[in-house]
Amino acid sequence: MALEKMQRAEWPRIDVFGLTDRGRKRARNEDQVLVAKLEKSMVIEQTSLPVGARTKLLAGPEGRILLVADGVGGHSGGAHASALAADTVAEYVLNAMPWFFGVGPESSQEELEEELKAALERSQEQVKRSAEQNPLRSQMATTLTMACVLWPTAYVVHVGDSRCYLLRDGGIEQITTDHTMAEALREEGVLSKEAARRSKWSHVLYKSIGGETNGLSPDLYRVGLTPGDRLVLCTDGLSKHVLDEEVAELVETASGSEAACRELIATANERGGTDNVTVIVADFIPLTGEGVANGGGHPKSLVAERTPRRAPPEPPEAPDEKDEKVEESTE
């Protein structure tokens, strides 16, 4: 297939905010959140040019990274796994992918997607290596969902049951697929959507960074964005308490991204707060004279393209407490 060159377009104004909370039941927070702006810059050390007092020249935003991770494992293993995975991905994006953000030659969408998957594969190696070195963290693992936004496209790379949503015209679509046994049974027609949500299998992962997963194969989604769209990333501490339609309503009625994050987390806590909860809301605000109608040309589906998902393993006879993603704190 011929390589498709990335098209550059003017960014809309972006209002983005991320927030993480311990919740009502957990002794510690094992979630992680990362919101990052990637820019071209030049730090001037010596010059005869008339740049005045400026020492750093910026060329505007070249990309945005939005990331949430939800750790698993006792003895602080979950917090260590999620932090290590998030830090590894951030370092990989910074050091190994600069050319995709305007500081080098043009690159294709396919090459970018391969690099994003490689970032998660690198984090898998780091988490596995760390687990081998510390017996108390031998079962540690983490989910990780990241959106790399290069306007007008969001590249979403994903492992686990944290989620990325796209909000458009008052509606909401879940971009990612949960890597849980309940969702696998729902996809095969064994469970309805509501039954899967309430199922004892709903927090049993068959794919994660670390843990029992070997040969990690992250999911990759390519999403066409248009001014007026919103992206919401969250851990399952939100999705287990707040329905998708409620997420859309709370975000739409909030006064901004920060207010939306706080309202979503407050709602999850009011309904039990049984887990750590982390949310990122990114609002792509139309510029003057711009509107949602300008997004013509995007495919009918909000998800333009996704990587094939390998079939999950057969479910065990019964879920065991230690196999569930959400574990009670030992502290």
DSSP 236: H
List the chain pLDDT tens, one digit each, 331 residues: 233 344 456 889 999 999 999 999 999 999 999 999 887 666 777 777 765 545 555 555 678 999 999 998 766 799 999 999 999 999 998 887 655 554 334 457 788 889 999 999 999 999 999 999 988 888 899 999 999 999 999 999 999 999 999 999 999 999 999 998 988 888 888 888 788 777 888 888 999 999 887 889 999 999 999 999 999 999 999 999 999 999 999 999 999 999 999 999 999 999 999 999 999 999 999 987 555 433 333 322 333 344 444 455 555 454 443 344 543 333 3
Helix (H, G, I), strand (E, B) or coil at 330: coil
Please give the Cα distance from 234 to 280 (Å, whole number): 6
pTM (predicted TM-score): 0.82
Fold classified for 13-39+57-308 = Phosphatase 2c; domain 1 (3.60.40)
pLDDT, residue 159, reads: 97
pLDDT, residue 85, reads: 97
Strands (E), 76-228: 141-150, 153-159, 163-168, 171-174, 209-210, 219-224
The 3-class SS string of 158-172 reads: EECCCEEEEEECCEE
Rounded to the nearest angstrom, the gap between the alpha carbon of residue 260 and the centroid of all alpha carbons in its chain is 17
Please give the Cα distance from 51 to 285 (Å, whole number): 32
Written as six digits, the tokens of 316 are 């065990």
pLDDT, residue 52, reads: 53
Distances (CA, A) of 89 to 69, 77, 82, 144: 11, 18, 11, 10
pLDDT, residue 292, reads: 44
pLDDT, residue 28, reads: 93
Helix (DSSP H) and strand (DSSP E) numbers for the chain: 7, 12
The helix, strand and coil proportions of the chain, stated in percent and rounded to the nearest 5, come to 30, 30, 40
Q: Is 3 left (phi over 0), alpha (psi -120 to 50) or beta?
A: beta
Please give the Cα distance from 151 to 60 (Å, whole number): 12
pLDDT, residue 327, reads: 38
